[in-house]
Amino acid sequence: MTDVAPIDDAPELTRYIEARYHACIRKELPALTEMAAQVESAHAKHDYVPLGLSNLLRRMTGEMEVHMKKEELILFPAIRNGGAPGIENPIAVMRADHDNHEIEVCEIRRLTGNLSLPDDASATWAALYEGLAKFLADLEEHIRLENEVLFPQFEPGVGTNA
């Protein structure tokens, strides 16, 4: 798989999103959740511990799995078939989910002081914030590709398929 999104081919872009972003979320988010729980437990008395981060990541894991399944089972197959009347409805749901993900990203940044490590951070804490930085960058690009590239192609008055 190339790491360049095929922006001119909607069916291929859906496959790219699944392989590049959905697979990474399923792999990385549970590992980050576990690391967050370790950091919260090991550094419970530390002034800068990201208390509540593991619960937030656990909740996000469930929410994102539901979101990705809706894309993989409903929206992306419809897109691969050239769109269909009413496709703007599942797109609107996905956009609303993305808005919620962005709120959760803000909460991650708040809990972690914008991923700022204390001077005495453990190796696990540092690995957690490094992993979160990658996850957040990937999530931002994932949402951008869908909201700004893929979805407009199938929304009335915006794309060429509407």
Spell out the domain ranges in the chain: 10-154
pLDDT in tens, 121-142: 999 999 999 999 999 999 999 9
Is the pLDDT confidence value at 4 over 80?
no
How much is the average pLDDT of 81-86? 88
**What is the pTM assigned to this prediction?**
0.91
Q: Mark 91-124 as b/e (b = at least 16 C-beta within 10 Å).
A: beebeebbeebeebbeebeebbeeeeeeeebeee
Alpha carbon distances (Å) from 146 to 38, 88, 149: 33, 13, 6
- Given a contact cutoff of 8 angstroms between Cβ atoms, the answer to whether 88 and 156 are in contact is yes
